[in-house]
Structure 1
Amino acid sequence: MKKKKLEMILDSLKPHPNPKVELEQYTINGKLASELLFLAQKDFLNNIVLDLGCGTGRLAIGAKLLGAYKAIGIDIDRESIEIAKENAKKVGVEVEFICEDIKNINKNIIKEENLKKIVLQNPPFGAQKKGADRVFLDKALELGDVIYSIHNYPTKDFVIKYVESKGGKITDIYRVNFRIPATYKFHKKRSVDIPVLIFRIERG
């Protein structure tokens, strides 16, 4: 599948109708999602993908479309999970979705011990709840062999130091733009592009 086609498929999926600001719920657009997925495909092909904080399921669904052996999406928000299930059904892929706080997830959810575990995540940036991004990084390093994680550009130095302090190794950093549409009442513009970084991390 070509990147443009995947982008169109992902953009056609149902977004969250009632995003919650305290969870920093922003639907990842098809362009950014497909960029991350094509970067990560070499790692997750025929392996297991864990989409932490999966929202409406775009990364997990895209990974399955691009050849992941199994995809699991996890989110604390029940409404997100129900929409994610609808979206997976719409495009005809099988994805396991779990409604749970990622803090409570452990390796027992993965039965295929012989396959690599690849974490894809677009975690909260920590704008509403300080340290929210750390929770996701900690869990990703616990569960994943390789992690692809999106973070706000100004946090670059923090993410590098934090990952290294936890024994992880950052192998690549990609600079991309995240287009955020007007989602909450305090948003004044129709949309805004913010610079973000995709980190490829290997567990130490």
Structure 2
Amino acid sequence: MKKKKLEMLLDSLKPHPNPKVELEQYTISGSLASELLFLAQKDFIGKTVLDLGCGTGRLAIGAKLLGAKRAVGIDIDRESIEVAKENAKALGVDVEFICNDVRNIKREMFDEEVVVIQNPPFGAQKKGSDRIFLEKALELGDVIYSIHNYPTKDFVVKFVESLGGEVTNIYKANFRIPAIYRFHKKRALEIPVLIFRIVRR
């Protein structure tokens, strides 16, 4: 599948109908999702992909479309999970969606190599929430792809190293944020982000 085709398919999926600001719920664009997935495809093809904080399922669904053997999405928000299930059904892909706090997910649930892909909270609403996702990703994944706010680059590298991981690649990208919350003043914002490829030592 070509990148543009995947982008169009993912953009056709339902967004979250009632995003919650405290969870920093922003639907990832088809453009950014496909960019991450094509970067990660060489690592996850034929393997298990785990999408932590999966939201409406775009990354997990896209991974399955690009050749992941198994795709699992985890999210604490039940409404997100229900929409994600609808989205997977709409594209005819088999993805497992679990409503749970990512902190409760154990490595024993997976008896094979795991590639984590995630668009975690940036920690703007709840300080430290990005750390929770990085810690869990390094506990569960052999290879991790994670999106973070551009100014946190040095922090992410040092934090990953403190957990016994290694950042092997950093890619620049843009995250489009439409005006979905009351405090948003502009119709949309493009914020610079970084996609980190991380391995567990």
Q: TM-score range by the shorter chain?
A: over 0.9
Q: Which residue of 2 aligns with 1:76?
A: 76
Map residues 166-185 of structure 1 onto 2, 5 A cutoff. 166-185=163-182
Unpaired runs of 5+ in structure 2? Answer: none
CA offset at residue 109 of structure 1? 2.3
What TM-score, normalized to structure 1? 0.98
CA offset at residue 116 of structure 1? 2.0
What SS is found at the alignment partner of 1:43? helix
CA offset at residue 144 of structure 1? 0.1
Q: Which residue of 1 aligns with 2:194?
A: 197
Q: Say whether the 8 Å CA contact 1:44–1:116 is kept in structure 2.
A: no
What TM-score, normalized to structure 2? 0.99
Distance 2:74 2:5 in 1: 25
Q: Which residue of 1 aligns with 2:142?
A: 145
Distance 2:109 2:55 in 1: 19
CA offset at residue 107 of structure 1? 1.6
Identity between Structure 1 and Structure 2 (%): 77
Distance 2:177 2:14 in 1: 16
Residues matched between the structures, number = 201
Unpaired runs of 5+ in structure 1? Answer: none
Q: Which residue of 2 aligns with 1:157?
A: 154
Distance 1:122 1:163 in 2: 16
Residue by residue over 1:133-174, the C-alpha shift from the partner in whole angstroms, topping out at 9 and shown as x without a partner, is: 000000000000000000000000000000001110100000
What SS is found at the alignment partner of 1:13? coil
Map residues 96-111 of structure 1 onto 2, 5 A cutoff. 96-110=96-110
Distance 2:101 2:185 in 1: 31
Distance 1:9 1:109 in 2: 30
Residue by residue over 1:85-105, the C-alpha shift from the partner in whole angstroms, topping out at 9 and shown as x without a partner, is: 000000000000000000111
What SS is found at the alignment partner of 2:124? coil
Which amino acid is the alignment partner of residue 65 of structure 2? L
Q: Which residue of 1 aligns with 2:24?
A: 24
What SS is found at the alignment partner of 2:171? strand
Q: Which residue of 1 aligns with 2:63?
A: 63
CA offset at residue 183 of structure 1? 1.2
Q: Does 1:5 align with 2:5?
A: yes
CA offset at residue 108 of structure 1? 2.8
What SS is found at the alignment partner of 1:171? strand
Distance 1:57 1:107 in 2: 21
Distance 1:177 1:70 in 2: 28
RMSD over aligned CA atoms reads 0.5
Which amino acid is the alignment partner of residue 65 of structure 1? L
Distance 2:180 2:25 in 1: 9
